[in-house]
Each structure stands twice: as C-alpha cells, then as structure tokens.
Amino acid sequence: MTVKIFRASVVLELLGLLVSWAVHAANADALWQIVHQQCVPHWQQAQDPAPCAALDMSQGEPQGHAILKDIHGVLQYLLIPTARVSGIESPLLLQADAPDYWAAAWRARQWMDRLHGSALPREAVALTVNSQWGRSQNQLHIHVSCVRPELPARLQQAGIGAHWQPLPGDINGHAYLARAVPGETLDDVQPFRLLADEVAGASGQMGSYTLAVIATRLADGPGFWLLASKADLLAGNFASAEGDVQDHDCQVLPPLAVTQ
C-alpha cells in the first residue's frame, strides 16, 4: 500500500511539473502584461482602454477590471482584474472586500451583444474560471462566452437545488457538483465564496477547482446554475470548465446570426 501511494504521489508531482512547464512555456503572464502594460497606461494617458474593450477603475486599480476580446471564439470576452490576482486559488478572492468579479463578468456580456449585433438570449451565456491545472495564464480571468448547446436541457432535467449536490452523470467525462441561485444578475452572489464555504474541504484547495456559471430560468424566475469540478490528474481531469461547459463557436445561436 505504501508503494502504491508513493508511486501515485510521484505521478501527480510529475504531471504537475509538466503542466507548470507547459503554462510557462506559453507565457503565462500574457494577459497580465496586456492589461497592466497596455490597457491601464493607455487609459491613464488618453482615457482609451485599447487594446481592451473596456476598463473600470472607478474604485481604484486594486478593485478594477478590464474586458478584453479573446483571440479565440467568435464572441468570447475575458474579464481580467487590474490588480495582480493569480487565479481561483488566490486568497484575495475570499476576502470580505473582494471585488465582485462574477457580477462584472455577467454585465460584460453586453460586449458579446455588441459584436453579435443584437442581444443574446440570456440562457445562451456561460461564465467560467479554470483551475490552476486547467489554465494557460497566471492572472485571473473569467471566460464570458456561449454555453454548449446540449447542456441547458440536460441541466433542467437534473433537478438542481439550492445546495451543492453531485450532478447526475458527468460533463465531458468529468464529475461536477451543481447548485442553483435565483436572480436576474450575479450581484452579491459571490460564487467563489459559495464554493469555499459550502463544499467540504474546498476552501483549502481552491486551486484544484474549476467553476462555471450558466444563466437559466428557474421555477420561480430567472437564476443561474453553478457548476464546480475538482481536478483529478490521474483521471485526466485538469478541471477546465471552459472546455466542458462553453462553446466558443456559439452553436447555441442561429448560425447566420453569429458575426466576427
């Protein structure tokens, strides 16, 4: 038994090193450099957020965020803090005065609408944050994009309630927990805290989790589904809800309605 445990720990360490090497080989600070070295200075000098689509530092740079069009996907945007925040594992996200990044990311869907040329159906939008194993960048970024077209109907049938519970089956071969929250917006919902406070052991292992928010209509009105998956490197789950939940080709929309 000791040998098996030792071998498993070695494999996990090697996988972690490989992922870490791959991330840094691809310039894991690219998003931070775009925001910190281009968008913020350009805004300070000329009130122009370019190359970002928008920049909000009304409460100061430590509380601010940028909206950037991702190079991948027809309508995908990223919300990126203007403060240095490594990712979902950052303790800054669980502080009482942490910026409400998820609420801001939900509002950022307006940029998808602009690029699309008309308002997207609310239920077509999903937000995701990948785990530290499933991401390519070491600056927090929330993916704002389309939901995979087959997911909403399946989630409606799953009977998701107001508390975290295992999602029946899996998504893309990966086990998920799910819970529902009511509301038209994500103001004060704070998904990071809901995961850390309500899922046993999650607060000390936040970096291993990926988190997704999908807009829906609940029985009593508009709401959201929250999905969370924990990395299992031996099983090949790097905890990337972006790949499991979102479709950057936006096939959930009528094909002729999507424009570059």
What is the DSSP code string of the chain?
Answer: -HHHHHHHHHHHHHHHHHHHHHHHHT-TTHHHHHIIIIIHHHHHHHS--TTSSEEE-TT-GGG-EEEEE-SSSSS-EEEEESS---STT-GGGGSTT---HHHHHHHTHHHHHHHHTSPPPGGGEEEEE--SSS-S-SS--EEEEEBPTTHHHHHHHTT--SS-EEPSS-BTTB--EEEEEE-SS-TTT-HHHHHHHHSTTGGG-GGGEEEEEEEEEETTEEEEEEEEEE-BGGGTB---HHHHHB-TT-TTS-GGG---
- Mean of all residue pLDDT scores within the chain: 90
157-181 mean pLDDT: 96
Q: Residue 23: pLDDT above 80?
A: no
Q: How far apart are the C-alpha atoms of 122 and 179, rounded to whole Å? A: 18
Proportion of the chain above pLDDT 70, given as a percent:
88
Q: Residue 19: pLDDT above 50?
A: no
Q: How far apart are the C-alpha atoms of 95 and 177, rounded to whole Å? A: 23
Q: Residue 114: pLDDT above 60?
A: yes
**pLDDT given for residue 20 in this prediction:** 41
Q: Residue 95: pLDDT above 60?
A: yes
72-90 mean pLDDT: 97
b (16+ CB within 10 A) / e for 55-89: bbbeeeeebbbbbbbeeebbbbbbbbbbbebbbbe
Q: What is the pLDDT of residues 63-76, one digit of tens each?
A: 999 999 999 999 99
Q: What is the pLDDT of residues 129-165, one digit of tens each?
A: 999 999 999 999 999 999 999 999 999 999 999 999 9
**pLDDT given for residue 254 in this prediction:** 83
Nearest alpha carbon to residue 178 among 214, 217, 218: 214
**pLDDT given for residue 236 in this prediction:** 87
Q: How far apart are the C-alpha atoms of 80 and 108, rounded to whole Å? A: 11
pTM, entire model: 0.89
